[in-house]
């Protein structure tokens, strides 16, 4: 074999080796399992990316405050008769069932009834489920803006007296991964077990 042919063979072998390596990397990437969630996967959604609201202690909070934790954010109000206490009870169960990973979960409750949900009311309300749960209290104008950004619905329903009204509102939760990225839309009534599974998956990813 002359020198010229030998060089062609070597070059060809290197090319095939490079192509094989590239294909191997591609196959490896394709073979990586994608997390399977129970809630609706909305990774990459261009809404509900952040907020800036005061908590019950008057401190302004954003998603960056909870970096390193999976965040579950829910819109509700303290006098809600069913959806809100059910959701908060389930989230308390989720945290308990996570065991040692429970500290890596942060539940946020945004009130849609800031007129009645004072800091004192919400501190007591969160404490009834789990002291680590954080209530966020928007002003009336902030509520309009944050509801629009999160694409959630709320409406005041008049009662028999001026203070006995109720609030219709969206009942789902928004779930963020430990890097603060919106990942899941969890519909109401699914129970604690599916959320436990999803939180564990997000903590691993």
Binding-site positions read 80, 84, 169
Report in angstroms the alpha-carbon separations of 105 from 91, 108, 153, 164. Answer: 9, 10, 25, 34
CA proximity to 107, closest of 75, 74, 83: 74
Known binding-site residue numbers for Cu cation: 80, 84, 169
CA proximity to 49, closest of 68, 64, 34, 60: 64
């Amino acid at each position: 074999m002359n020198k010229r042919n030998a060089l062609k063979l070597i070059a060809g072998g290197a090319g095939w080796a490079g192509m094989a390596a590239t294909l191997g990397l591609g196959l490896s990437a394709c073979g990586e399992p994608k997390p399977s969630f129970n809630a609706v996967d909305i990774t990459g959604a261009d809404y509900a990316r952040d907020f800036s609201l005061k908590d019950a202690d008057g401190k302004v909070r954003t998603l960056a405050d909870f970096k390193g934790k999976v965040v579950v954010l829910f819109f509700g109000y303290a006098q809600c008769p069913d959806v809100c206490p059910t959701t908060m009870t389930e989230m308390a169960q989720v945290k308990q069932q996570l065991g040692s990973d429970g500290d890596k979960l942060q539940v946020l409750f945004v009130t849609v009834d800031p007129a009645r949900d004072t800091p004192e009311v919400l501190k007591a309300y969160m404490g009834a489920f789990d002291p680590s749960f954080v209530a966020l209290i928007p002003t009336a104008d902030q509520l309009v803006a944050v509801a629009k950004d999160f694409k959630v619905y709320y409406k005041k329903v008049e009662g028999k007296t001026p203070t006995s009204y109720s609030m219709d509102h969206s009942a789902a939760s928004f779930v963020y991964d430990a890097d603060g990225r919106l990942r899941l839309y969890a519909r109401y009534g699914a129970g604690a077990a599916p959320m436990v599974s999803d939180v564990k998956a997000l903590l691993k990813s």
